[in-house]
């Protein structure tokens, strides 16, 4: 009886153990499925966020980004949720916060903007919930004063050329003149029975022009406020007016879809132009007075030549399309080289005034942009929006990337210094350039190669930089002094690749002579020549353990080498299967932990090989050869650069694209991450070098 009970107990315990193990395995499997689902969800949100950014829907971008913060999202609330964010998340966050300042304080739509003639003060006027004019310090973004007195929405603000008077007008026809230095009201008058839609001072400041909802343009004596001269050519609301730079002409436009040019002295209509299919929100003269731009509710900007012969003629030169909503404001830059147009589509576009091609689009407002104004020196642009904010934009920087001064010819390779403060680039112009990554300026140009430079690499420690190229020589440089400290000779073909071991003691080089060479850096001597490839070696990379070297070749093979012995290592599970074979390997890279080896192929695919399991995954998306690869320092992302002119960031688990960068206009040649993972550098066949900057952690902290 006792024995039977014992047997039953043992059986029960065994069954319980098996059951517990099964439950544990099921839990682990469930968690793995949740983690995988979480990863797909993250990648999907990054793709949606990029689409939203391209559509200028910044509010949606921010919502998608915020729900991917750790512990964020309705379905993944655990504080233990893995932080999947990498470069792409922080890059998109920085794009959404690309303005120098975002000025908050208005409680309604910001309808009107003006910058004082000395460039020190920004004036903004807002809608019915607010009805104030705010003055801001242009240098710091600090609010200086709030001018109160209007009882209705403010539609227009304007400074005199000496900055001594600020004029404001509201939707019920009231106008006010202010002393902007003191904030005191100087005079108030009823300009119209309906709204003052726009205001502009003549260049000499003696005349104030106003545009009314009744279709009339009026000229007022600034000093006396005497009975105005009225122009009555428009039949319906006039929404915008602008003086020519010499003050002799006045342009106006509005709901009748017509741009009219007036003689400012006599009020005589000189010329008119029709072309818009809907009402016109804004007109502006170019600084030379020979061109007028108009922006319309029809979504277009039209460019008009002001031809002065026996009579003035207005001739349409160009129609600019690209906005996806009504164009609300147009302004020429002070140097006349570009035109800014604002739209309800939440963007500001810049157009080059020689070709009238779009230069760049600035996004950041959550709702439509209602007004734009340049600083007098043209270095900043201010915008007012329906999102109740004013943004101040630094025009010296591209909003999406930093473009370094071009090489004169194709750039073949680039690399960051260990501290991330210097970027080295090498190209067909035979030089190696060292760039300051903070200022974007060239620190030094290293000259010594007699042919194109195909490869550059920094030693992980110390001041050493290596370069190799067409002249078959590998040069070692002291980057502090910019002097060559050694020339390594031995290859019988151009040097295509260079890479330092993680400790910086060994340099590996790959050449068109089909060999890989290992060099002792300190001694400047050859350690070994690795034979095995049959064609040019395009890329070499050390594993983090320093014991293994990978090389990729045009002979369609990837080889692993034992660094200590120089012997070729066998790949797990035999030779590389399709699609890893029968394709030239143009680039190789190891992940931070060394478990993954990435290979870039001539057919546009990227192969990921897990060295611990032998598992292979193919990343498909490029439409041209993949010339360069790099893993993000955080180990979460792989970046690839291709002849198809795109840079793509990949998720390592799902094999899906996290982000695609499409700014380059020629084939990509190389790509690299800065050591902290916050800057991505890319270079192309036309000599362009771009830096893509991600936000720092402290810049993404949400307010309490």
Task: Tell me 400's DSSP state.
Answer: S
- Rounded Cα distance, 671 and 423, in Å: 11
Q: In this predicted structure, what is the pLDDT of residue 405?
A: 80
Rounded to the nearest 10 degrees, the angle between the axes of helix 2-54 and helix 87-96 is: 40
Question: What is the pLDDT at residue 702?
Answer: 86
Digit-coded pLDDT (tens) for 323-371? 999 999 999 999 999 999 999 999 999 999 999 999 999 999 999 999 9
Q: Which two tokens stand for residue 367?
A: 């709702």
* pLDDT(74) > 50: no
Report pLDDT digits (tens) over 426-453. Answer: 999 999 999 999 999 999 999 999 999 9
Among 77-86, 532-541, 617-626, the minimum mean pLDDT is found in 77-86
pLDDT confidence tier of residue 527, bands split at 50, 70 and 90: very high
pLDDT at 106: 97
Coil vs helix vs strand at 579: coil
pLDDT digits (tens, 9 = 90+) for 123-172: 999 999 999 999 999 999 999 999 999 999 999 999 999 999 999 999 99
Check whether 704 has a pLDDT greater than 90.
no
Name the strands in the sheet holding 269-274, side by side, starting at the edge strand that comes first in the sequence.
238-243, 249-254, 258-263, 269-274
The average pLDDT across 589-614 equals 94
Q: How far is CA 659 from the centre of its chain?
A: 12
For every residue of 263-289, DSSP letters joined together read ETTT--EEEEEE--SS-EEEEEE-TTS
Place of tokens 């990227």: 606
| pLDDT classification of 232: cutoffs 50, 70, 90 | confident
What are 250-272's pLDDT values in tens digits?
Answer: 999 999 999 999 999 988 999 99
Contact 519, 507 (CB under 8 A): yes
Q: What is the pLDDT of residue 413?
A: 97
Give the pLDDT confidence score for residue 21 in this predicted structure: 65
Residues 424, 441: contact at Cβ < 8 Å?
A: no
Tell which wins on pLDDT, 30 or 134. Answer: 134
Interval 396-419: pLDDT, tens: 988 888 889 878 899 999 999 999
The Cα–Cα gap between 239 and 194 comes to: 12
Band (227; pLDDT cuts 50, 70, 90): confident
Name the region of 687 (left: φ>0; alpha: ψ -120 to 50; beta: rest): left
Q: Which CATH architecture has domain 101-394?
A: 7 Propeller (2.130)
CATH topology for 411-695? Methylamine Dehydrogenase; Chain H (2.130.10)
Q: Is the peptide bond before 263 cis (omega within 30 degrees of 0)?
A: no
Q: What pLDDT, on a 0 to 100 scale, did the predictor assign at position 575?
A: 41
**Residue 500 pLDDT > 90, yes or no?**
yes
- Segment 183-206 shows an average pLDDT of 95
The pLDDT score that the predictor gives to residue 27 is 67
pTM, whole model, 2 decimals?
A: 0.90
Count CA atoms closer than 13 A to 192's CA, side-chain side.
25
Q: In the predicted model, what is the mean pLDDT of residues 285-300?
A: 97
Span 545-580, pLDDT tens digits? 999 999 999 999 999 999 999 999 976 433 443 444
| Mean pLDDT value across the chain | 92
Q: What is the pLDDT of residue 579?
A: 41
Among residues of the chain, what percentage have pLDDT more than 90?
Answer: 82
Instruction: Output DSSP code: residue 386.
Output: T
Domain with CATH 2.130.10.10 in the chain: 101-394, 411-695
Residues ≥6 apart with Cβ < 8 Å to 480? 463
Average pLDDT of the segment spanning 528-544: 96
Q: Would the pLDDT of 33 be above 80? A: no
Higher pLDDT among residues 341 and 35, named by residue: 341
DSSP string, 522-578: TTTEEEEEE---SS-EEEEEE-TTSSEEEEEETTS-EEEEETTT-PEEPPTTSS--T
pLDDT interval class at 625 (50, 70, 90): very high
């Amino acid at each position: 009886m006792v024995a039977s009970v014992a047997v039953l107990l043992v059986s029960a315990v065994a069954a319980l153990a098996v059951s517990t193990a099964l439950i544990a395995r099921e839990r682990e499997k469930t968690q793995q499925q949740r983690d995988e689902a979480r990863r797909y969800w993250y990648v999907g949100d990054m793709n949606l966020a990029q689409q939203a950014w391209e559509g200028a829907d910044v509010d949606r971008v921010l919502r998608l980004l915020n729900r991917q913060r750790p512990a964020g999202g309705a379905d993944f609330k655990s504080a233990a949720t893995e932080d999947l964010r990498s470069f792409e998340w922080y890059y998109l966050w920085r794009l959404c916060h690309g303005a120098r300042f975002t000025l908050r304080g208005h409680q309604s739509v910001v309808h009107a903007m003006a910058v004082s003639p000395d460039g020190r003060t920004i004036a903004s006027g807002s809608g019915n919930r607010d009805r104030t004019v705010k003055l801001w310090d242009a240098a710091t973004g600090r609010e200086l004063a709030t001018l109160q007195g209007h009882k209705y929405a403010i539609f227009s603000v304007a400074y005199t050329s000496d900055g001594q008077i600020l004029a404001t007008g509201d939707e019920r026809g009231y106008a006010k003149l202010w002393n902007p230095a003191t904030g005191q009201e100087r005079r108030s008058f009823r300009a119209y029975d309906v709204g003052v839609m726009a205001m502009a001072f003549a260049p000499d400041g003696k005349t104030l022009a106003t545009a009314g909802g009744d279709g009339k343009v009026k000229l007022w004596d600034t000093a006396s406020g005497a009975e105005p001269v009225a122009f009555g050519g428009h039949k319906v609301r006039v929404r915008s007016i602008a003086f020519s730079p010499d003050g002799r002409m006045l342009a106006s436009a509005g709901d009748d879809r017509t741009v009219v040019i007036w003689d400012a002295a006599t009020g005589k209509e000189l010329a008119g132009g029709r072309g818009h299919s809907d009402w016109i929100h804004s007109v502006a003269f170019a600084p030379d007075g020979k061109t007028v731009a108009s922006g319309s509710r029809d979504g277009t900007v039209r460019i008009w030549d002001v031809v002065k012969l026996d009579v003035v003629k207005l001739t349409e030169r160009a129609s600019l399309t690209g906005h996806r909503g009504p164009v609300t404001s147009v302004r020429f830059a002070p140097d006349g080289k570009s035109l800014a147009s604002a739209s309800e589509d939440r963007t500001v576009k810049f157009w080059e005034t020689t070709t009238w091609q779009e230069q760049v689009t600035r996004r950041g407002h959550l709702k439509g942009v209602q007004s734009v104004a340049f600083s007098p020196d043209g270095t900043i642009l201010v915008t007012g929006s329906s999102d109740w904010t004013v943004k101040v934009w630094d025009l010296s920087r591209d909003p999406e990337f930093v473009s370094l001064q071009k090489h004169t010819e194709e750039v073949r390779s680039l690399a960051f210094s260990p501290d991330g403060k210097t970027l080295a680039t090498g190209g067909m112009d035979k030089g190696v350039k060292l760039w300051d990554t903070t200022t974007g300026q060239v620190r030094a140009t290293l000259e010594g190669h007699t042919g194109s430079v195909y490869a550059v690499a920094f030693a992980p420690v110390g001041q050493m930089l290596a370069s190799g190229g067409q002249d078959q020589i590998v040069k070692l440089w002291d980057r502090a002094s910019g002097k060559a400290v050694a020339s390594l000779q031995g290859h019988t073909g151009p040097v295509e690749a260079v890479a330092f071991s993680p400790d910086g003691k060994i340099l590996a080089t790959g050449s068109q002579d089909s060999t890989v060479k290992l060099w002792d850096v300190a001694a400047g001597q050859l350690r070994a020549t690795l034979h095995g490839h049959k064609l040019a070696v395009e890329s070499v990379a050390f594993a983090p353990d320093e014991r293994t070297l990978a090389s990729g070749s045009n002979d369609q093979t990837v080889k692993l080498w034992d660094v200590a012995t120089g012997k070729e290592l066998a790949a797990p599970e035999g030779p590389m299967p399709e699609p890893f074979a029968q394709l030239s390997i143009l680039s190789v890279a190891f992940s931070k932990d060394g478990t993954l080896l990435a290979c870039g192929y001539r057919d546009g695919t990227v192969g990921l090989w897990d060295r611990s399991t032998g598992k292979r995954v193919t990343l498909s998306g490029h439409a041209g050869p993949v010339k360069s690869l790099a893993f993000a320092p955080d180990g979460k992302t792989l970046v690839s650069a291709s002849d198809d002119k795109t840079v793509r960031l990949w998720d390592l688990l799902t094999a899906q694209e996290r982000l695609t960068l499409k700014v380059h206009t020629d084939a990509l040649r190389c790509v690299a991450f800065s050591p902290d993972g916050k800057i991505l550098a890319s270079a192309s066949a036309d000599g362009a070098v771009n830096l893509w900057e991600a936000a720092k952690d402290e810049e993404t902290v949400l307010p309490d």
